[in-house]
Structures are given as C-alpha cells and as structure tokens.
Amino acid sequence: MPRRALLGLLLCLLAAAPAAARPTIVSLEFDDATADQAQALPLLAAHGFAATFFVNSAHVGRSGYLTWRRLHAIQRAGHEIAGHTLHHLRLTKLTPARVRHEVCADRSALRAHGFAATDFAYPYGATDPAIERTVKACGYRSARRISGVQCHGCPFAETVPPLDPFATRTPPAVLARDAPTILRRKVAGAQGHGGGWVQLVFHHVCSGCATYAITRADLAGFLTWLERRRGVEVRRVSSML
C-alpha cells in the first residue's frame, strides 16, 4: 500500500476510535401508568433492568391505571417513578397558571406518596421555553420531549450529557406495529452513529388494545436481545442527569 494511502487509513481509524468508544445508553420508559404496564415488571426483573415510569398522579387508582400500592412495589423493585402532569393535558394549550398547577401539583402528589419525582415527561411531547422554565421551577431536574428531529436514515440518540436537560430528545414512541426488530434498529443504529442516550418510550403493554402499544411477547423478545447486546447499558432517567 502506498505510504500516503496508509497514512490516510491510519488517520481514519484514529478519527473513528473515540466515537466507537462512546457507550450507547438505553432508558426504558413507560408513560401514563396504565394498568397493563404491570405485565412488563416480571420481564424487566428477569433481565435485571430498571425502568422509569412517568405517572399522571390524578389517574392513579382509577380503572385502567396502576394503583399507589403497585407504584410503591415498582419503586421497591428498583424502578423510577417520575412526573407526567396531573391529567395528561397538552401543556401548550393551557394558561401559564394551569400549566404550573398541572406540573407542580403532580410532583407534589408524587412526593407526598414517597417518590423523589426528579424527572418529567411532557404529555404529547408538547412544550415551549416558558413551560420548560415552569417545569424547572417546580423542582424537576430534567424533562423529556418525544419524537425529536432525526437524521435521515439513522435512529436518533440524545447526547451525553443532553444538550438541554429540560428538552431531552427521543425516537418516536413505540407503536403497535413496531416489532422487536424496529426497536433493535433504534439501538443498533445509535451504536453505529457514535453512541449516545436512546430513550425508548412505551405506553400500553397488550395485544390489539391501542395504537401506542407493544405485546408482552414482543417486549420479552426485545429485552432478551438488549441484555445480550454488547456495548449497551440500560439506565433509569434519574441516573443520566
């Protein structure tokens, strides 16, 4: 090989080395505290994964939702309980006073039940700078958007640390049509583009019950793959900020 070509190859390898060394971190996140999310708990336990559950506190205990007792059991199992507003309203449609009530009262309710509630998720991913300031003023350390801008042809990963801790970005939420292969591509794609933080957002765990859902079998298959995947760490949101 000519000397110039060899030098070029060495430079390319050196440039690629730092990106390859960066870890890919996955957070498994469950929004809305629906009762069917309890199906995920034994699967997470089987793989030793800790997840983050974003809770609308005004819905807790209602039909179709997790109870406070179940949420305490989830926390004892090592998972994180986080905030998601009282009623899952689109914050950009509310007055500033109503936004503050939805966010702050939700966090107060969670803390009154013994949860740290350090992290937040915007319902529908809807936010703006004023809302982000309110979330920070309510005592949260981070807040998550949804379906952030993605590069063409590659899955999206947030930087570590995030560019903006009160507007962290994710791939689109998991849809019922998403097979484990789609989830695998999100993780593997992030690894192939320099690593970073991949927040995977789930809603229902069921079969044929909702658009935003994953079956128990598909979730089990993905978690098995994730545990075996080299170069990937699974962390709660609270451990990232």
pLDDT > 70: what percent of the chain?
88
Residue boundaries of the structural domains of the chain: 22-239
Say if residues 225 and 234 touch (Cβ distance below 8 Å): no
Q: In this model, does residue 183 exceed pLDDT 90?
A: yes
Alpha carbons 182 and 233: distance in angstroms, whole number: 18
22-239, superfamily in CATH?
A: Glycoside hydrolase/deacetylase (3.20.20.370)
Q: Provide the pLDDT for residue 179.
A: 81
Q: What is the pLDDT of residues 205-214, one digit of tens each?
A: 999 999 999 9
Instruction: Tell me the two tokens of residue 191.
Output: 């690894």
Would you call 1 helix, strand, or coil by DSSP? Answer: coil
Would you call 200 helix, strand, or coil by DSSP? Answer: strand
Q: In this model, does residue 233 exceed pLDDT 90?
A: yes
Q: Provide the pLDDT for residue 164.
A: 96
Q: Provide the pLDDT for residue 100.
A: 98
- Model confidence at 11, pLDDT cuts 50, 70, 90, reads very low
Q: In this model, does residue 95 exceed pLDDT 80?
A: yes
Alpha carbons 230 and 215: distance in angstroms, whole number: 25
Q: What is the pTM of this model?
A: 0.89
Radius of gyration for the alpha carbons in the chain, expressed in angstroms and rounded: 19
Alpha carbons 202 and 199: distance in angstroms, whole number: 10
Which residues in 18-160 belong to E strands, given as ranges? 24-31, 52-55, 80-83, 119-121, 142-144
- Model confidence at 30, pLDDT cuts 50, 70, 90, reads very high
Which candidate, 154, 240, 141, places its Cα nearest to that of 190? 154
Would you call 10 helix, strand, or coil by DSSP? Answer: helix
Q: What is the pLDDT of residues 124-181, one digit of tens each?
A: 999 999 999 999 999 999 999 987 544 444 456 999 999 999 999 998 899 998 888 8
Q: Provide the pLDDT for residue 21.
A: 53
Cβ atoms < 10 Å from Cβ of 10? 10
Q: Provide the pLDDT for residue 16.
A: 40
Q: Provide the pLDDT for residue 12.
A: 39
pLDDT > 90: what percent of the chain?
81
Q: What is the pLDDT of residues 63-79, one digit of tens each?
A: 999 999 999 999 999 99
- Model confidence at 83, pLDDT cuts 50, 70, 90, reads very high
Q: In this model, does residue 9 exceed pLDDT 80?
A: no
Q: Provide the pLDDT for residue 180.
A: 83
